[in-house]
Amino acid sequence: MKRVKIQCNGRQQTLAEDTTLAELLDDLGLPADSVVAEINKKIIDRDQYATFKLSSGDQVELIRFVGGG
Amino acid sequence: MLASFHIENFSALTDQILAATTAEVETALNSRVCTLDDLAALLSPAAEKFLPMMAARSRELTALRFGKTTQIFAPLYLSNFCINRCAYCGFAADNAIPRKKLTINEVEREANILKQRGFNHVLLVTGEAPAKAGVDYLEEVVLRLKNKFAALSIEVQPMEQEEYARLFRAGVTAVAVYQETYDRRVYNQVHLAGKKCDYEYRIATPARAAAAGMREIGIGSLLGLADWRAEGLALGSHLAWLRKRFWQTNFTVSFPRLRPAAGAFKPLINVTEKNLSQLMFALRIFDPDVGLILSTREEARYRDGMLGLAPTRYSAGSCTDPGGYSSNDHTGEQFSVGDHRTIDEVCRVIVNKGLDPVCKDWDREFQLN
Amino acid sequence: MLTIAETKFSSRLFVGTGKFSSATVMEQAIKASEAQMVTVALRRVDLENPDDDIMTHLDRERVHFLPNTSGARNAEEAVRLARLSRAASGTRWLKLEVTPDPRTLLPDPVDTLKATELLAKEDFIVLPYINADPILALRLQDVGAAAVMPLGAPIGTNLGIQTALQVAIIIEQARVPVVVDAGIGAPSHAARAMEMGADAVLVNTAIAVAGDPVRMATAFKQAVLAGRLAFEAGLGASSTSARASSPQRGMVGESLHFIEE
């Protein structure tokens, strides 16, 4: 089976081919509505998470709110 | 679209001022910042017994902000044609006076005389007749004069923002446009015909000129038309309103006073020198940064006494008819002058009072249009 | 009532959510403060601790969210964070912070102005965090800032309103609300800012690191109310020299003999 290699929050990760963003979040235990995803510096709309397929070399940033002043 | 300034109810200003107590006057005199309510107290009858203290505070603030200086300028009347009929004005359209508009060469001749006398700041004045002395004419005048003087101001008919911008680019540094009175009822009563009847258009004019980029805007009331105390509060409100919106603009206030002796128009109310002094001290305490102009309508004795107390700018050696500096053949003048001394005589008094007469405060050469 | 960008707030205390010992304490402190505006920051999800989600501790029905751009060192980074925060929260509100110096965390005026102009054009409601510079405050208002947030003292110092003179000028000239931010280390500091006429204050460290953050939040709530009330009531003038509290008719003034009666 083919694999894709991505960078997620600075960490190397290998996924099965055709893994969607929604599936990645699910694997990481992150509710989709608690994070915003930026792939290759482009913000992905939440309603595209289920269809957005990750490709090799993608730089994924998963971001969410934390305490701050 | 620019937001506009309003005085909702002029007589309510009078009511507020008359209600001020001695304690409120003392508070206003001692506060670090002076609010509009404080200004109302300083303009009140209750403040009259504090006039020497107000003068002392006013002198202190004036010196702190402006130093020991008094600016000097001269008006240059370009034209006395006017389409308005203002009951109080010598240029009124139905007044049978010789009318004249200076040619560009005549303007230059007048300008050369002022320059020779040592003036470096000139206020160009016309009646309000755009067909005779419109923006094209003014632009031509300014382009001709701009290399002679450090600063050129205009006191002409209200214009559109674009027209002001054009004159700014030509070299005008400041615009004076006086509401005459903020009391709409009296305004309608004394402005009998002409474009000036439009109170709203006039009251919105300082904002248009400021939006066009002018360095300085002058506002003012003609004293003798409506309650001078309320005019003072209205001027303070207008000033504060303008400052909020046009923070890069300098502002000045003028208080031309109608004199019973001058001309056929009898002032609707009598404003004394004491009243005028209170008004100037109150505005100085309200706004330490505002330029205050004392007209040559006032007599030499009074002008000398006021030096350093509140005013920052004096006109001197003024002729108020077009061509008056170069010719003895006088045409109709706008108002009669109370202080006939030359610039040298006025400067001498200023120096004797320990102040420095300043003929040049800014050089339009630095202005990047 | 405090109004920013046409939104009304019944509380003039904004609370930051950083530095609390636990999310539960933060939640209780915010509740006690009665703040309606809370700031949050954006960070990469910590993939080792994916459950740590602040949003589950904040009731968005009751408090308004003000995401900040903390960590941004220039305008470009701030704009990126702003867009991310809008995508994450759906809010157009933004506390703009551009802090190139990691030691003092003082805001960069040039890039703050640049970013404010850009973000206001993108329809963000921008509340820039600035040094107490009156001209900068005016320039920011000219390019569309919805409020300005001058600092009282460098962030986290608890030094109070060291910039009082400048803040007073900003307040006097402002056409938008002025929120004093940073440096407020005690309820008395917050009260002072409010007495001066500030429209609101933002407090974080002083509540978060207090011995009892929940009670400190209550103290700040009361200080802000008291300060505002004093401002509205009109404070008497202060003076460095003694002044008699009864009128002094004999005070010396100018001689005005030249005036004709």
Judge contact between C167 and C132, C-beta under 8 A.
yes
Closest chain C C-alpha to B108 CA, distance in angstroms: 39
| Vertex A58: Cα angle to A52 and A62 (nearest 5) | 75
Distance (Å, whole) CA A10 – CA B275: 76
**Within a domain: B3:** no
pLDDT confidence of residue B2? 62
Place of tokens 């109608």: B258
Closest chain A C-alpha to C105 CA, distance in angstroms: 12
From the list B31, B59, B301, the residue facing C254 with the nearest CB is B59
Q: Annotated active-site positions of C, please?
A: 95
CB contact under 8 A, C175 and B53: no
Q: What digits encode the pLDDT tens for the residues B99-137?
A: 889 999 999 999 999 998 888 899 999 999 999 999 999
Q: What digits encode the pLDDT tens for the residues B245-293?
A: 999 999 999 999 987 644 578 889 999 999 999 999 999 999 999 999 9
- Chain C hits for B302, CB-CB cut-off 8 Å, are 258-260
pLDDT confidence of residue B261? 47
CB contact under 8 A, B54 and C237: no
Domain span at residue B85?
10-366
Token pair, residue C228, equals 């505002």
Distance (Å, whole) CA B30 – CA B20: 15
- CATH homologous superfamily of A3-63 equals Beta-grasp domain (3.10.20.30)
Q: Average of pLDDT values for B234-248?
A: 95
- Chain A hits for C39, CB-CB cut-off 8 Å, are 68-69
Q: What digits encode the pLDDT tens for the residues B2-40?
A: 678 999 899 999 999 999 999 999 999 988 789 999 999
- Domains of chain C are 2-233 (3.20.20.70)
Q: C172 CB near a chain B CB, below 8 Å?
A: yes
Work out the mean pLDDT of chain A and round it to a whole number.
Answer: 87
CA A63 and chain centroid, separation: 10
3-state SS track over chain B: CCCCCCCCCHHHHHHHHHCCCHHHHHHHHHCCCCCHHHHHHHCCHHHHHHHHHHHHHHHHHHHHHHCCEEEEEEEEEEECCCCCEECCCCCCCCCCCCCCECCHHHHHHHHHHHHHHCCCEEEEEECCCCCCCCHHHHHHHHHHHCCCCCEEEEECCCCCHHHHHHHHHHCCCEEECCCECCCHHHHHHHEEECHHHCHHHHHCHHHHHHHCCCCEEEEEECECCCCHHHHHHHHHHHHHHHHHHCCCCEEEEECCECCCCCCCCCCCCCCCHHHHHHHHHHHHHHCCCCEEEECCCCCHHHHHHHCCCCCCEEECCCCCCCCCCCCCCCCCCCCCCCCCCCHHHHHHHHHHCCCEEECCCCCHHHCCC
If one counts the domains in chain B, the total is 1
Burial of B360 (0-12, 13-18, 19+ CB in 10 A): middle
Full DSSP string of C28-62:
HHHHHHT-SEEEEEEEE--TT-TT--GGGGS-TTT
Paired residues of B193 in beta bridges: B85
Name the more confident of A10 and C185.
C185
Q: What φ, ψ does residue C142 adopt, rounded to 5°?
A: -60, -30
Q: C71 CB near a chain A CB, below 8 Å?
A: no
pLDDT confidence of residue B259? 74
- In total, chain C counts a number of residues equal to 261
Judge contact between C19 and C204, C-beta under 8 A.
yes
**Within a domain: B137:** yes
Q: C8 CB near a chain A CB, below 8 Å?
A: no
pLDDT confidence of residue C19? 85
Is residue A69 very low, low, confident or very high in pLDDT (cuts 50, 70, 90)?
confident
Helices (H) and strands (E) in chain C, counts: 8, 10
From the list C17, C51, C85, the residue facing A67 with the nearest CB is C17
Work out the mean pLDDT of chain B and round it to a whole number.
Answer: 90
pLDDT confidence of residue C240? 45
Distance (Å, whole) CA C31 – CA C33: 6
Neighbours of chain B (3+ CB pairs under 8 A): C
Token pair, residue B11, equals 């007589």
Which of C17, C47, C70 to probe the A interface (max A CBs under 10 A)?
C47
Q: C241 CB near a chain B CB, below 8 Å?
A: no
Q: Is C181 helix (H, G, I), strand (E, B) or coil?
A: strand
pLDDT, averaged in runs of 10, over chain C (261 residues): 93 93 89 95 82 77 90 93 89 95 91 97 97 97 97 90 95 95 94 96 92 95 96 68 51 84 74
Name the more confident of C156 and B333.
C156
Q: Is the dihedral of CA B158, B161, B162, B167 positive or negative?
A: positive
Distance (Å, whole) CA B180 – CA B190: 10
- Chain C hits for A11, CB-CB cut-off 8 Å, are 47
Token pair, residue C126, equals 């921008």
**Within a domain: B2:** no
Closest chain C C-alpha to A1 CA, distance in angstroms: 26
**Within a domain: B1:** no
pLDDT confidence of residue B262? 45
The model's pTM: 0.79
Neighbours of chain C (3+ CB pairs under 8 A): A, B
DSSP A17: T
Touch of B by A (3+ CB pairs closer than 8 Å): no
CB contact under 8 A, A67 and C19: yes
pLDDT beyond 70 at B240: yes
CB contact under 8 A, B30 and C243: yes
Q: A66: closest CA among B224, B99, C38?
A: C38
CA B58 and chain centroid, separation: 19
Interface residues of A toward C, Cβ cutoff 8 Å, are: 8-11, 28-31, 34-36, 38, 41, 43, 45-46, 61-69
Token pair, residue B255, equals 């208080």
Q: Read off the CATH number of the domain in which B87 is found.
A: 3.20.20.70
